[in-house]
Structure 1
Amino acid sequence: MKRALVLLGLLAAPAAAQQVNDYPTEARVEYAVACMATNGETADALQRCSCAIDAIAAVLPYEEYVSAETVLRMRQTTGDRSGMFKGGGVMEAMVADLRRAEAEAEILCF
């Protein structure tokens, strides 16, 4: 665990750790609950899902996380409003950044 924290830069500089914690508690809990629903509601899943949101927060600023999540949620809706979220370079880049952060979290935590 200590090695993972060093890799994330959390032990190297307290100021960096403070920046990593810019995700509100509510957002972290929401992610962990959804993750646990997928991976089992066990203590091990809680630890891994908490690790995952911490890893995502270490590489993706909260504002970018919210934007990418919004695009993904809007893509699930129907009608004219969802169409504008299903294409475009900027939106694709936002989602790609989130996917990369999630892949890194998967490697570190699962």
Structure 2
Amino acid sequence: MKRLICAFAVACSTLATAVSAQSVADRLNDYPTAARADYVFACMVTNGQTREMLDRCACSIDEIASILPYAKYLQAETVLSMRRVGGERMSFFKSASMAEHLVADMRRAQAEAEIVCF
């Protein structure tokens, strides 16, 4: 009976660890491949198209993904894109506090990535 209880406890512990590890892995890998590639291509255009920059840019998006969930990254990218359009209707994206917070969070993640990767 003790062996059965011990085996059950080990199984529960292993399952909890696996679920925890899986959720962390899922959280760190919620960026679609195309979004990661877009970021790396844009980063390389800005910083130089060398193998070293490929590694640094890939590190950068990985670091951003570990800090900022993809949904928030996408929202911040949308705000920045809408700010470029201009016009009265788009002024919301330039002045709304929610939009400012989204962009600030992304900028902080980018700054962290720059410190770690560049």
- TM-score normalized by structure 2? 0.79
The aligned counterpart of 1:66 is 74
Equivalent-residue separation in structure 1 for 2:39 and 2:89 (angstroms)? 25
Which of residues 26, 40, 50 in structure 1 aligns to 2:34? 26
The aligned counterpart of 2:49 is 41
1:83-98 aligned within 5 A:
83-98=91-106
Equivalent-residue separation in structure 2 for 1:73 and 1:79 (angstroms)? 13
Identity %: 55
Q: Which has the larger radius of gyration?
A: 2
Give deviations 1:26-83, integer Å, cap 9, x for gaps.
0000000000000000000000000000000001000000000100111111212321
Bigger CA drift: 81-90 or 22-31?
A: 81-90
Amino acid at match of 1:76: R
Amino acid at match of 2:117: C
5+ residue gaps, structure 2: 1-20
Amino acid at match of 1:98: M
Amino acid at match of 2:76: A
The aligned counterpart of 2:64 is 56
Moved over 6 A (4+): none
Equivalent-residue separation in structure 1 for 2:86 and 2:63 (angstroms)? 32
Which of residues 111, 114, 118 in structure 2 aligns to 1:103? 111
Bigger CA drift: 80-89 or 46-55?
A: 80-89
| SS of equivalent residue, structure 2 residue 85 | coil
